[in-house]
Structure 1
Amino acid sequence: MTVNLKDRIALVTGASRGIGYYTALELARAGAHVIACARTVGGLEELDDAIKAVGGSATLVPFDLADMQAIDTLGASIFERWGKLDILIANAGILGVISPIGHVEAKVFEKVMTINVTATWRLIRSVEPLLAKSDQGRALIMSSAAAHKCRPFWGPYSASKAAVEALARTWAGETQRLPLRVVSVDPGATRTAMRAQAMPGEDPSTLPHPSEVAARILPLCGPELTETGKLFAVRENRLVDYRMPE
């Protein structure tokens, strides 16, 4: 499927590697100007080179999502330069630790919630007025099957992803009369650094490359997406709509 995003402005967090990196590249290839955010400057610079190589353009914004003031400033800066935002990919997140709940250190739990949940809320609050100015706003909130499986030892990460799905569904309900469409996305098991951290004994060659996942996510950023408040999971080379109960 060809997705035309010419003249669209897209914001991607966690864009220096993995799914964020390749989603940003796909967006640029489709014609969007990408605002790429991440902590790692080197990774952002590599992304910028890759985007230029496919004829695209990007603005690099290196910062830590734990900096809430920086998130607020980002929204203001986008407004001053472009006056709107068409696409949000809230991709950045951390795993924390795989551990029994009672053994998780408070500072670890709090960091997972800060980056995965509080920063996502703050980002939504910062850019919602900008997305509302788009005639085709799209917001993709990256989730995980961990939000539903809640397997032992994954407590902080599972809880954080359940929380961001709740935020996404609530936001979708609040904005359903706007052109803005909000969806959660479960990319599935993917060959990323986070997956390797969580599953150190797994053979990464058995998993899809993040570029494959990004290519399947891209159509959600275009006009073909008409539903809002749903969860999409990348499975078997297709996007499956897991309809949530009302």
Structure 2
Amino acid sequence: MTINLEGKIALVTGASRGIGYFTALELAKAGAHVIACARTVGGLEDLDDAIKSVGGSATLVPFDLADMNAIDALGASIFERWGKLDILVANAGVLGVISPIGHIEAKTFEKVMNINVTATWRLIRSVDPLLSRSEAGRAAILSSGAAHKCRPFWGPYSASKAAVEALARTWAGETQRTPLRITSVDPGATRTAMRAQAVPGENPDTLPHPSEVAKAILPLVGPDVTETGKLFIVRENKLVDYRLPE
């Protein structure tokens, strides 16, 4: 399926590597101008080169999602330059540690919740007015199977992703009578640096490449999307509708 995003403005967080990098590239291939956010300047510059090589365009915004004032300023800057936002892909996140809950340091737990949950809420708050100015605003919030499986030793990450899904569903409920469509996405086990950190003994060649996952995510931000407030999972490089309890 070909998705035409010509003239669309898309914001992607965590765009310097992994799923965020390749989702940004797919958005650019489809014609969107990509606002790429990440901490790593080198990774953003590599992305910019890749986007230019396919005839696309990007604006690089290097900053740390722990900087809440920067998130607020981002929304204001987008408004001043473009007056709206059409697509949000909230991808950035951190793993924390794989450890028994009772052994986790407070600063580690707080960092995971701050980056994965508070920064996501702050981002939503910053761009919600901009997405509402789009004739077909779309938001894809990256989640994880950890939000539902709640495996032993994955406490902070699991809790943070469950909270992110709750934010997305609440936001979808509040905007369901508007053109804005919001979905949560569980990309599944993917060949990323975070996955390698979480499961160091795993053979990465057995996992889908993030470029394949990005292609599966792209339809969720297309203009034909009608569903809102749902969780989709990526399995075998295809989207599967995962129905959450009402």
Question: TM-score band, normalised by the shorter chain?
Answer: over 0.9
Cα deviations by residue, 1:187-212 (Å, 9 ceiling, x for unpaired): 00000000000000000000000000
Cα deviations by residue, 1:68-123 (Å, 9 ceiling, x for unpaired): 00000000000000000000000000000000000000000000000000000000
TM-score by length of 2: 0.99
Q: Find the counterpart in structure 2 of residue 51 from structure 1.
A: 51
Q: Find the counterpart in structure 2 of residue 13 from structure 1.
A: 13
How do residues 116-127 of structure 1 correspond to structure 2 at under 5 angstroms?
116-127=116-127
Q: Find the counterpart in structure 1 of residue 138 from structure 2.
A: 138
1:224 Cα offset (Å): 2.4
Residue type matched to 2:4 in 1?
N
Distance 2:233 2:217 in 1: 9
How do residues 1-246 of structure 1 correspond to structure 2 at under 5 angstroms?
1-246=1-246
Q: Can you give the 5+ residue segments of structure 2 that lack an aligned partner in the other structure?
A: none
Distance 2:94 2:226 in 1: 30
1:46 Cα offset (Å): 0.2
SS of the equivalent of 1:182 reads strand
Distance 1:53 1:66 in 2: 31
1:243 Cα offset (Å): 1.2
Residue type matched to 2:162 in 1?
A
Distance 1:133 1:216 in 2: 26
Cα deviations by residue, 1:151-198 (Å, 9 ceiling, x for unpaired): 000000000000000000000000001100000000000000000000
1:241 Cα offset (Å): 0.5
Q: Can you give the 5+ residue segments of structure 1 that lack an aligned partner in the other structure?
A: none
RMSD, matched Cα: 0.4
Distance 2:61 2:146 in 1: 29
Residue type matched to 1:101 in 2?
I
Distance 2:224 2:58 in 1: 24
Distance 1:226 1:154 in 2: 33
1:237 Cα offset (Å): 2.7
Cα deviations by residue, 1:194-246 (Å, 9 ceiling, x for unpaired): 00000000000000000000001001111221100000000123110011121
Residue type matched to 1:139 in 2?
A
SS of the equivalent of 1:112 reads helix
Residue type matched to 2:150 in 1?
C
Contact 2:208–2:237, Cα closer than 8 Å, also in 1: no
SS of the equivalent of 1:144 reads coil
Cα deviations by residue, 1:30-86 (Å, 9 ceiling, x for unpaired): 000000000000000000000000000000000000000000000000000000000
Distance 1:152 1:216 in 2: 29
Equivalent pairs counted in the alignment come to 246
SS of the equivalent of 2:45 reads helix
Distance 1:5 1:197 in 2: 34
Residue type matched to 1:31 in 2?
G
Residue type matched to 2:51 in 1?
I
